[in-house]
Amino acid sequence: MTPHALTLAPDRLFPSDATQRAIARNLYDHVRDLPIISPHGHTDPQWFAQDTAFANAAQLLLQPDHYVLRMLYSQGVSFEALGIGEPGQDTPAREAWRQFGQRYHLFRGTPSQLWLDWVFRESFGIEVRLCAQTCDLYFDTITDALTRPEFRPRALFDRYRIEVLTTTESPLDPLVHHQAIRLENERPGGWQGRVLTAYRPDPVVDPEFEGFQTNLDRLSECTGQDCRTWAGYLAAHRDRRRFFAAMGATSTDHGHPTALTADLDRSDCETLFARVCSNRFTPADAELFRAQMLTEMAAMSLEDGLVMQLHPGSLRNHNTTLFRAFGRDKGADIPVATEYVRALRPLLERFGNAPDFRLIVFTLDETTYARELAPLAGHYPCLRLGPAWWFHDSPEGMRRFREQTTETAGFYNTVGFNDDTRAFLSIPARHDVARRIDSAFLARLVAEHRLLEDEAAEVLLDLTYTLPKRAYKL
């Protein structure tokens, strides 16, 4: 059988209804070529600091992509067969890629296929669809391309018209790559790509994080504060936040199991912190400590102006056997039901009405869109809704987000799109999907006479460009 041609339909993701499609096209035309604002993600700053070539197709597109890994694993493909395992016993990259290519049909109907097809077609110019017959062609084409200068990280960054890209780092990170990038930026004739960091303190805030006790000591070392005292610990955070801000950070990010916040008095904080430091704490202590730390981080945001992001609700490393063998971020994180209304109240009671405080909230529990998050964001001046996230960062997921938040929170309590990815090459594809789905959603409102077309165009421009810049103070 001849492999299918790989084409990207110009009208993809637009409604098939002729009225809506025509409006969607018009709207999209105004934003398709706007620069990319990527205020939250997990790319590696080393790529842009050192600008070394990516190795091969499997190492670039398969092995780090937990969306792809999880699907293949769910259908019985072992991680070893995908080249992930004991060093020296790895499956060769080409063989790993074949495992993937032969099963590309598993991705039908998933956003992974949308993103990957864009990368294959637009970035690498491949004109046949990935399948068992074409996977070697793919491997060779991609791997060859990666040796060329125009596929180096900085060249791709420029080609993709990324105006600003934010990564996330631990407070313990010395930010050497970000420093290098800033030096490069300042060098006459140097590369001008704007790559920022964000302060992600989970490793020193979550008592259940691997290595937490050691991390506290390392935090003491790198700040000179005594992080075994509550006051020293808070001072160390202030210190590192200041350093991150000096390196360009405009935001913090908090990946907690729940959205719980607390507002304990000082002596209770000290007692709790002492238990946490002693490494003799209960799960409830850990949860309460994380909750209190969200409120502390909010207090610091009022001081230093960093925008706060909360990403709760993922039960990490659900598959212990797999976690022990292969570590984090292998596609075994599973969302759980997440409560926001009571959980956020302590923090909101304290800072919810503070001018200039900004808290962007995400969810993996879509039931909270209309019930909890839109009502909260439609009331509290500090709150904004982050876009559809992770498992919901997809055409249907984005559509549900708009359908379920807009009527209560409007468009202007949302912050535009986050790609949230470590898959650098897919960034334009992801932003393109968001622009198309927003165009489609707005087109329906226009077609149903719920919005005028030029209002819709203004909203779309705001969602694509203005709101993310404003929300993240970029």
Residues 415-444, interacting with a second copy (CB under 8 A): 444
In the complex with a second copy, the residue whose CB is nearer, 167 or 406, is 406
Are the CB atoms for 182 and 248 separated by under 8 Å?
yes
In the complex with a second copy, the residue whose CB is nearer, 44 or 453, is 453
Binding mask 56-95 for a second copy (x = CB under 8 A): --------------xx-xxxx-------------------
Selected binder of a second copy within 152, 177, 392, 431 (CB under 8 A): 392
Q: How far is the CB of 175 from a second copy (least distance, A)?
A: 33
Classify burial at 140, counting beta carbons within 10 Å of its beta carbon; exposed 0-12, middle 13-18, buried 19 or more.
middle
Selected binder of a second copy within 26, 258, 319, 466 (CB under 8 A): 319
384: enclosing H helix or E strand? strand 383-385
Kindly state whether residue 455 participates in binding a second copy, applying the rule CB under 8 A: yes
Kindly state whether residue 208 participates in binding a second copy, applying the rule CB under 8 A: no
Residue given tokens 């869109």 in the structure block:
369
Residues 98-127, interacting with a second copy (CB under 8 A): 105-111, 114
* CA separation for the pair 461, 474 (Å, rounded): 16
* CA separation for the pair 220, 296 (Å, rounded): 18
Selected binder of a second copy within 3, 85, 232, 375 (CB under 8 A): 375
Kindly state whether residue 134 participates in binding a second copy, applying the rule CB under 8 A: no
Kindly state whether residue 256 participates in binding a second copy, applying the rule CB under 8 A: no
Number of residues that bind a second copy (CB under 8 A): 91
Please, what is the Cα angle at 315 between 75 and 241, to 5 degrees?
125
* CA separation for the pair 272, 262 (Å, rounded): 12
Kindly state whether residue 191 participates in binding a second copy, applying the rule CB under 8 A: no
Select the span of 89-97, 140-148, 152-160, 328-336 touching a second copy (CB under 8 A).
328-336
Residues 354-373, interacting with a second copy (CB under 8 A): 355, 364-367, 370-372
Classify burial at 89, counting beta carbons within 10 Å of its beta carbon; exposed 0-12, middle 13-18, buried 19 or more.
exposed
Selected binder of a second copy within 198, 383, 423, 467 (CB under 8 A): 383
Q: Which one, of 65, 74, 55, lies nearest residue 139 by Cα?
A: 55
In the complex with a second copy, the residue whose CB is nearer, 52 or 353, is 353
* CA separation for the pair 418, 368 (Å, rounded): 19
Residue given tokens 């041609």 in the structure block:
5
Distances from the Cα of 14 to the Cαs of 21, 36, 56, 145, 448, in angstroms? 6, 21, 34, 31, 16
36: enclosing H helix or E strand? strand 36-38
Kindly state whether residue 378 participates in binding a second copy, applying the rule CB under 8 A: yes
In the complex with a second copy, the residue whose CB is nearer, 170 or 317, is 317
In the complex with a second copy, the residue whose CB is nearer, 135 or 348, is 348
Kindly state whether residue 409 participates in binding a second copy, applying the rule CB under 8 A: yes
Binding mask 12-51 for a second copy (x = CB under 8 A): xxxxxx-xx-------------------------------
Q: How many CB atoms lie within 10 A of CB 327?
A: 11
In the complex with a second copy, the residue whose CB is nearer, 96 or 249, is 96
In the complex with a second copy, the residue whose CB is nearer, 181 or 398, is 398
Q: How far is the CB of 43 from a second copy (least distance, A)?
A: 23
Select the span of 32-40, 141-149, 228-236, 351-359 touching a second copy (CB under 8 A).
351-359
Kindly state whether residue 308 participates in binding a second copy, applying the rule CB under 8 A: no
In the complex with a second copy, the residue whose CB is nearer, 232 or 397, is 397
Distances from the Cα of 407 to the Cαs of 140, 179, 315, 401, 467, in angstroms? 49, 43, 30, 11, 18
Select the span of 171-179, 205-213, 235-243, 342-350 touching a second copy (CB under 8 A).
342-350
441: enclosing H helix or E strand? helix 427-447
* CA separation for the pair 463, 469 (Å, rounded): 10
**DSSP bridge pairs for 253:** 309
